[in-house]
Protein backbone atom coordinates (compact mmCIF):
# COMPACT_ATOMS: atom_id res chain seq x y z
CA UNK A 1 0.00 0.00 0.00
CA UNK A 2 1.30 3.47 -0.86
CA UNK A 3 2.58 5.20 2.29
CA UNK A 4 0.60 8.39 1.67
CA UNK A 5 -2.68 6.52 1.39
CA UNK A 6 -1.88 4.18 4.29
CA UNK A 7 -0.92 7.00 6.68
CA UNK A 8 -3.96 9.04 5.74
CA UNK A 9 -6.32 6.08 6.15
CA UNK A 10 -4.86 5.37 9.58
CA UNK A 11 -5.28 9.00 10.59
CA UNK A 12 -8.90 9.11 9.37
CA UNK A 13 -9.59 5.86 11.20
CA UNK A 14 -8.44 7.40 14.48
CA UNK A 15 -10.46 10.55 13.88
CA UNK A 16 -13.65 8.71 12.97
CA UNK A 17 -13.42 6.43 16.00
CA UNK A 18 -13.14 9.48 18.27
CA UNK A 19 -15.92 11.55 16.73
CA UNK A 20 -18.19 11.05 19.77
CA UNK A 21 -15.48 12.36 22.12
CA UNK A 22 -15.13 15.92 23.42
CA UNK A 23 -12.66 16.94 20.72
CA UNK A 24 -10.67 15.38 17.88
CA UNK A 25 -7.12 15.42 19.19
CA UNK A 26 -5.48 12.97 16.85
CA UNK A 27 -6.26 14.99 13.74
CA UNK A 28 -4.24 17.84 15.18
CA UNK A 29 -1.09 15.71 15.11
CA UNK A 30 -0.90 16.28 11.38
CA UNK A 31 -0.81 20.07 11.79
CA UNK A 32 2.09 22.39 12.55
CA UNK A 33 2.85 24.67 15.47
CA UNK A 34 1.55 28.21 15.66
CA UNK A 35 1.70 31.21 17.96
CA UNK A 36 2.81 30.45 21.53
CA UNK A 37 2.14 33.82 23.18
CA UNK A 38 -1.48 33.09 24.06
CA UNK A 39 -0.71 29.47 24.92
CA UNK A 40 1.85 30.44 27.57
CA UNK A 41 -0.80 32.15 29.73
CA UNK A 42 -3.36 29.40 29.18
CA UNK A 43 -1.13 26.63 30.50
CA UNK A 44 -0.28 28.38 33.79
CA UNK A 45 -3.28 26.70 35.43
CA UNK A 46 -2.83 23.40 33.58
CA UNK A 47 0.11 21.49 35.12
CA UNK A 48 1.37 18.30 33.48
CA UNK A 49 0.28 14.93 34.91
CA UNK A 50 2.53 13.46 37.61
CA UNK A 51 5.51 11.38 36.43
CA UNK A 52 4.86 12.26 32.82
CA UNK A 53 6.47 13.25 29.57
CA UNK A 54 4.61 15.98 27.67
CA UNK A 55 4.91 16.82 23.98
CA UNK A 56 3.56 19.97 22.31
CA UNK A 57 1.17 18.98 19.52
CA UNK A 58 0.29 22.56 18.63
CA UNK A 59 0.53 25.83 20.54
CA UNK A 60 -2.25 27.34 18.46
CA UNK A 61 -4.63 25.55 16.14
CA UNK A 62 -8.18 26.35 15.04
CA UNK A 63 -10.64 23.46 14.92
CA UNK A 64 -14.18 24.25 13.76
CA UNK A 65 -13.52 27.93 14.56
CA UNK A 66 -12.40 27.11 18.12
CA UNK A 67 -8.79 28.20 18.81
CA UNK A 68 -6.94 25.59 20.84
CA UNK A 69 -3.57 24.64 22.26
CA UNK A 70 -2.86 20.91 22.52
CA UNK A 71 -0.38 18.68 24.34
CA UNK A 72 0.03 14.89 24.38
CA UNK A 73 1.46 12.97 27.32
CA UNK A 74 2.53 9.61 28.64
CA UNK A 75 2.62 8.99 32.40
CA UNK A 76 3.87 6.24 34.67
CA UNK A 77 0.71 6.69 36.74
CA UNK A 78 -2.50 4.76 36.09
CA UNK A 79 -5.41 6.60 34.38
CA UNK A 80 -7.38 6.70 37.66
CA UNK A 81 -4.43 8.38 39.39
CA UNK A 82 -4.14 11.00 36.65
CA UNK A 83 -7.87 11.69 36.85
CA UNK A 84 -7.70 12.06 40.62
CA UNK A 85 -4.74 14.43 40.28
CA UNK A 86 -6.65 16.84 38.00
CA UNK A 87 -9.85 16.65 40.03
CA UNK A 88 -7.87 17.75 43.09
CA UNK A 89 -5.72 20.39 41.36
CA UNK A 90 -8.57 22.07 39.52
CA UNK A 91 -10.90 21.87 42.51
CA UNK A 92 -8.28 23.65 44.63
CA UNK A 93 -7.84 26.37 42.02
CA UNK A 94 -11.51 27.42 42.15
CA UNK A 95 -13.90 28.87 41.36
CA UNK A 96 -16.09 26.15 39.92
CA UNK A 97 -15.77 22.39 40.07
CA UNK A 98 -14.03 20.20 37.49
CA UNK A 99 -16.24 17.78 35.57
CA UNK A 100 -15.53 14.06 35.07
CA UNK A 101 -16.98 12.16 32.12
CA UNK A 102 -16.37 9.07 29.98
CA UNK A 103 -15.73 9.10 26.23
CA UNK A 104 -15.30 5.67 24.63
CA UNK A 105 -12.30 4.08 26.39
CA UNK A 106 -11.09 7.35 27.91
CA UNK A 107 -11.83 9.32 31.04
CA UNK A 108 -12.15 13.07 30.62
CA UNK A 109 -11.69 15.83 33.19
CA UNK A 110 -12.59 19.38 32.20
CA UNK A 111 -12.92 22.80 33.75
CA UNK A 112 -13.95 26.15 32.33
CA UNK A 113 -13.37 29.80 33.18
CA UNK A 114 -14.25 33.11 31.54
CA UNK A 115 -11.10 32.93 29.41
CA UNK A 116 -10.33 29.22 28.84
CA UNK A 117 -11.83 25.75 28.73
CA UNK A 118 -9.34 23.09 29.83
CA UNK A 119 -9.76 19.38 29.06
CA UNK A 120 -7.65 16.33 29.88
CA UNK A 121 -8.46 12.93 28.39
CA UNK A 122 -6.60 9.81 29.49
CA UNK A 123 -6.60 6.05 28.89
CA UNK A 124 -4.40 3.03 29.53
CA UNK A 125 -0.81 3.37 28.37
CA UNK A 126 2.26 1.15 28.15
CA UNK A 127 3.72 -0.68 31.15
CA UNK A 128 0.69 -0.11 33.36
CA UNK A 129 0.84 3.66 32.91
CA UNK A 130 -1.38 6.00 30.92
CA UNK A 131 -1.42 8.25 27.89
CA UNK A 132 -3.65 11.02 26.70
CA UNK A 133 -4.12 14.61 25.59
CA UNK A 134 -4.51 18.01 27.19
CA UNK A 135 -6.38 20.83 25.45
CA UNK A 136 -7.08 24.50 26.13
CA UNK A 137 -9.74 26.38 24.16
CA UNK A 138 -9.31 30.16 24.05
CA UNK A 139 -12.69 31.83 24.54
CA UNK A 140 -11.31 35.34 24.01
CA UNK A 141 -10.11 34.50 20.50
CA UNK A 142 -13.22 32.85 19.08
CA UNK A 143 -14.26 34.48 15.81
CA UNK A 144 -18.05 34.75 15.95
CA UNK A 145 -18.30 35.71 12.27
CA UNK A 146 -15.91 32.99 11.08
CA UNK A 147 -17.00 30.81 8.13
CA UNK A 148 -18.69 27.51 8.87
CA UNK A 149 -16.51 24.37 8.99
CA UNK A 150 -15.85 23.15 5.47
CA UNK A 151 -16.55 26.55 3.88
CA UNK A 152 -14.67 27.09 0.63
CA UNK A 153 -13.94 23.37 0.20
CA UNK A 154 -15.75 21.34 -2.48
CA UNK A 155 -18.20 19.13 -0.59
CA UNK A 156 -20.38 16.47 -2.26
CA UNK A 157 -24.07 16.34 -1.46
CA UNK A 158 -25.13 14.42 1.68
CA UNK A 159 -21.65 14.74 3.19
CA UNK A 160 -20.82 15.36 6.86
CA UNK A 161 -17.95 17.67 7.79
CA UNK A 162 -16.30 16.00 10.79
CA UNK A 163 -13.48 18.42 11.45
CA UNK A 164 -11.89 21.57 10.04
CA UNK A 165 -8.37 22.32 11.33
CA UNK A 166 -6.31 25.40 10.53
CA UNK A 167 -2.73 26.02 11.62
CA UNK A 168 -0.12 28.66 10.81
CA UNK A 169 3.51 27.56 10.83
CA UNK A 170 5.82 30.48 10.02
CA UNK A 171 5.30 31.58 6.41
CA UNK A 172 2.86 28.76 5.62
CA UNK A 173 -0.76 28.09 6.49
CA UNK A 174 -2.23 24.59 6.50
CA UNK A 175 -5.83 23.45 6.60
CA UNK A 176 -7.16 19.93 7.00
CA UNK A 177 -10.83 19.12 6.47
CA UNK A 178 -12.15 15.63 7.25
CA UNK A 179 -15.47 14.54 5.72
CA UNK A 180 -17.59 11.41 5.51
CA UNK A 181 -20.42 10.23 3.25
CA UNK A 182 -22.13 7.15 1.81
CA UNK A 183 -20.89 7.67 -1.75
CA UNK A 184 -18.42 5.30 -3.37
CA UNK A 185 -14.72 6.04 -3.68
CA UNK A 186 -15.16 6.37 -7.44
CA UNK A 187 -18.05 8.85 -7.07
CA UNK A 188 -16.05 11.03 -4.67
CA UNK A 189 -12.95 10.80 -6.85
CA UNK A 190 -14.82 12.00 -9.94
CA UNK A 191 -16.45 14.78 -7.90
CA UNK A 192 -13.14 16.16 -6.59
CA UNK A 193 -11.31 15.82 -9.88
CA UNK A 194 -14.00 17.72 -11.75
CA UNK A 195 -14.49 20.30 -8.97
CA UNK A 196 -10.83 21.24 -8.68
CA UNK A 197 -10.25 21.26 -12.43
CA UNK A 198 -13.32 23.47 -12.93
CA UNK A 199 -11.92 25.92 -10.36
CA UNK A 200 -8.64 26.22 -12.26
CA UNK A 201 -6.45 23.73 -10.37
CA UNK A 202 -3.95 21.48 -12.15
CA UNK A 203 -3.75 17.84 -11.11
CA UNK A 204 -0.12 16.88 -10.44
CA UNK A 205 -0.42 13.42 -8.91
CA UNK A 206 -2.76 10.43 -8.63
CA UNK A 207 -2.25 7.35 -6.45
CA UNK A 208 -4.77 4.50 -6.20
CA UNK A 209 -4.91 1.03 -4.70
CA UNK A 210 -5.59 -1.86 -7.07
CA UNK A 211 -8.68 -2.94 -5.15
CA UNK A 212 -10.23 0.53 -5.58
CA UNK A 213 -10.65 1.06 -1.84
CA UNK A 214 -8.51 4.20 -1.67
CA UNK A 215 -7.24 6.92 -3.95
CA UNK A 216 -5.33 10.16 -3.54
CA UNK A 217 -4.90 13.25 -5.71
CA UNK A 218 -2.71 16.34 -5.56
CA UNK A 219 -3.69 19.63 -7.20
CA UNK A 220 -1.87 22.94 -7.57
CA UNK A 221 -3.06 26.47 -8.31
CA UNK A 222 -0.32 29.06 -8.14
CA UNK A 223 1.51 28.67 -4.82
CA UNK A 224 -1.31 26.69 -3.22
CA UNK A 225 -1.35 22.88 -3.07
CA UNK A 226 -4.40 20.75 -2.31
CA UNK A 227 -4.32 17.02 -1.56
CA UNK A 228 -7.42 14.83 -1.48
CA UNK A 229 -7.37 11.30 -0.07
CA UNK A 230 -10.50 9.12 -0.29
CA UNK A 231 -10.97 5.73 1.36
CA UNK A 232 -13.85 3.36 2.06
CA UNK A 233 -11.76 1.55 4.69
CA UNK A 234 -11.08 4.53 6.97
CA UNK A 235 -13.16 3.03 9.78
CA UNK A 236 -15.79 0.40 10.54
CA UNK A 237 -18.85 2.56 9.81
CA UNK A 238 -19.10 1.39 6.21
CA UNK A 239 -18.88 4.99 5.01
CA UNK A 240 -16.28 6.67 2.85
CA UNK A 241 -13.76 9.01 4.49
CA UNK A 242 -12.31 12.05 2.73
CA UNK A 243 -9.34 14.14 3.79
CA UNK A 244 -8.73 17.49 2.06
CA UNK A 245 -5.41 19.13 2.96
CA UNK A 246 -4.45 22.59 1.72
CA UNK A 247 -1.03 24.20 2.09
CA UNK A 248 -0.65 27.87 1.18
CA UNK A 249 1.57 30.90 1.88
CA UNK A 250 0.51 32.76 5.04
pTM (2 d.p.): 0.63
50, 77 in Cβ contact below 8 A?
yes
Low-confidence ranges of the chain (pLDDT < 50): 1, 9, 11-34
- d(CA 85, CA 91) in angstroms, rounded, equals 10
Q: Which domain holds residue 221?
A: 147-249
178: three-class secondary structure by DSSP: strand
Decide if 222 is inside a domain.
Answer: yes
69 with 131, same domain: the answer is yes
Rounded to the nearest 10°, the torsion over CA 241, 8, 104, 91 is -120
State pLDDT tens for residues 115-126. 889 999 999 999
Q: Among 80, 107, 141, identify where a domain stops.
A: 141
- d(CA 217, CA 226) in angstroms, rounded, equals 8
State pLDDT tens for residues 51-61. 999 998 888 78
Task: Check which CATH number belongs to the domain holding 175 and give it.
Answer: 3.30.310
pLDDT of amino acid 114: 77
163 with 87, same domain: the answer is no
State pLDDT tens for residues 192-229. 999 999 999 999 999 887 787 888 999 999 999 999 99
Amino acid sequence: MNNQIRNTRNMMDMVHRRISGPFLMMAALAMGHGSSAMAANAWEGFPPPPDSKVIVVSDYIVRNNLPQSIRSFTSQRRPDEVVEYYLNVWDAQGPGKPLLSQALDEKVVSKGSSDYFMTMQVKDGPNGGSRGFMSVIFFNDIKKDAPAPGAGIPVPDQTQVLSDLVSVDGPKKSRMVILRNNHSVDYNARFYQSSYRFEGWTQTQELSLKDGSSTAYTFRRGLVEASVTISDKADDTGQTGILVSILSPN
